[in-house]
Amino acid sequence: MGLKVILPYLLICYLFFYYKWVEGYRKLSKEEDLELDEQLKCLNKPTVKTINTKYGDIYDCVDFYKQPAFDHPLLKNHNFHPEMHASKINYLLDDKPNTHYAVARTMQGINYEGVGAELNVWNIPVQASQYTSGRIKINNGAESIEVGWTVNPGLYGDNRTHLYIYTNAGESHCFNAQCGYVQLNPNMPVDGTLDPVSSYGGKQYGTTLSIVKDVDKSNNWLLQFSDPPVELGFWASQLFTNLGNTATQAEWGGEVFSPPDVLAPGMGSGHNIRSSTGFDAFCDGAQYLVNNTVISPPKDLDILKDDKYHYDVDNRGEVEGKDHYLIFYGGPGGATGN
């Protein structure tokens, strides 16, 4: 299919944006001031090194034990160390207001130990208050983990395509590294820029991602990149209640967000899908893991598209053998409301 794997620039640590624009001013109460001080203590870690990317991003590098994940109350007394490694196995909806989906997902009732796919990545226009994403996801009830690519100016301060993770662990839910995700790989941050991107009717560029349960050792959820997989980091099992034990559903597809009464952005390539690898956003080689066995999804996956007039998903199934199980998704946007 001519898909090229992205090799993101070797950056490390955490990304901080500095804004000159401020909306309004209000004197903080004593309680709010104390809370703000605590939040700043979490963010203002002793910097070992600062890296400026060619995109203007600033990465502050901190000691492994000073990363934000260890400020989480459930990880205060951790015994993790930077040399931790998982067993060497090649594995590959929660409701959010004003969010639209076009996804294929497994039926519930089976315990899943992982999900993976190769996603081609896109860059389509969004407004400052919107985002558009392609991702894989694993969940148990309301608790979930997702990883993929996104264009999210409100989160990153730019209109480039970035890698992202989203964690929903009980009362904690956030993008990237603030909800207990532990970064192990110093060479690829979870908010790194993905470049180059795919073009409509032209070359396709993608990245292989997987979320895998380390059932043989730590029981943590691992984030893996590329093929063969490179371990980027993990979510400790104690962060979750139900998802800490197992996942009950796996999912592949797209997601967009827009404020109420604002036309939602496009999804995937930003066009109506044609079920073509040269024109559509897709998850290629979609797989999940059950009982230590990598399995291609069934053709009767549950299809969820909350707005069929603006977004679509096509579970095409196995193409050219089991290594090419294809799920297409996307749409031109234009929806409003939830």
Q: Has residue 3 got a pLDDT over 70? A: no
Residue 227 pLDDT > 90: no
Alpha carbons 235 and 242: distance in angstroms, whole number: 14
Strand ranges (E), the chain: 3-5, 14-16, 49-52, 58-61, 99-105, 114-120, 131-140, 143-151, 161-169, 172-175, 181-183, 204-213, 221-225, 230-235, 249-257, 281-290, 293-295, 302-305, 312-318, 325-330
Of the candidates 145, 149, 163, 91, the residue with the CA atom closest to the CA atom of residue 120: 149
The model's pLDDT over 87-101, given as tens digits with 9 standing for 90+, comes to 332 222 334 668 999
8 A C-beta contact, residue 69 and residue 22: no
Q: Give me the pLDDT at residue 338, please.
A: 55
Distances (CA, A) of 17 to 21, 123, 300, 312: 12, 21, 44, 34
Q: Rounded to the nearest 5 degrees, what angle is found at the Cα of 141, between the Cα atoms of 311 and 76?
A: 115
Average pLDDT over residues 135-144: 96
Closest among 255, 3, 52 to 136, alpha carbons compared? 255
Q: How confident is the model at residue 23 (pLDDT cuts 50, 70, 90)?
A: very low
In this prediction, residue 25 carries a pLDDT of: 34
Structural tokens at position 62: 């901190």
pTM over 0.85: no
The rounded distance, in Å, linking the Cα atoms of 156 and 131 is 11
Mean pLDDT of 113-131: 96
The answer to whether the beta carbons of residues 265 and 126 sit under 8 Å apart is: yes
Determine the straight-line distance between the first and last CA of the chain, rounded to whole angstroms: 35
Mean pLDDT of the chain: 80
